[in-house]
Amino acid sequence: MVSITKKWHRVDNDNTQEVHLSDGVKLRVIKQYDWQTCEHSKFRGKGEWKVEVFDTETDNWEWIDTYCPMWWAKENALTWGNVKAEEIYK
C-alpha cells in the first residue's frame, strides 16, 4: 500500500488542492466550472470537484472522475491512489 508524503495543500486561489504519495503519484482536486450556462466573465462553480492525476510522461493533469462535495473527492482520490485506509481516515 501507498502512504502520503505531502498532505493536502492549496496550490492556487481557486482552492485547488494537491497531495503527493510515496510512489511518486500526485493527485489533485480542482473546482468544476459551469462553462456552458454562464456568461464568459462570470464562470461559477457547480459544487463539483474533478479528481486528476499528474502524468509525468506528458507533463499534464489527467482527469479521473468528478465528485461532490470536496471531502468526497479527496477521499476517492486517495482510494484511487491505493492509500492505506488508516491514513485516509486520520
Q: Which of left, alpha, beta for 85 (phi over 0: left; psi -120 to 50: alpha)?
A: alpha
pLDDT at 47: 83
Q: What is the mean pLDDT of each run of 10 residues along the chain (90 residues)?
A: 90 92 94 68 73 95 94 93 78
Is 66 part of a structural domain of the chain? Answer: yes
Structure confidence at residue 68 (pLDDT): 92
CA distance 63 to 37: 22
Give 23's DSSP letter: T
Structural domain tally of the chain? Answer: 1
- pTM given for the model: 0.83
C-alpha distance across the termini of the chain, in Å: 16
Residue 58 in domain: yes
Q: How far is CA 72 from CA 3, 5, 8, 18, in A?
A: 19, 20, 14, 14
Q: What is the pLDDT of residue 38?
A: 55
Instruction: Establish if 39 belongs to a structural domain.
Output: no
Amino acid at 34: D
> Given 3-state DSSP classes, what are the helix, strand and coil percentages for the chain, each rounded to the nearest 5?
15, 45, 40
User: Which residue range is the domain that position 17 belongs to?
Assistant: 4-34+44-88
16 inside domain: yes
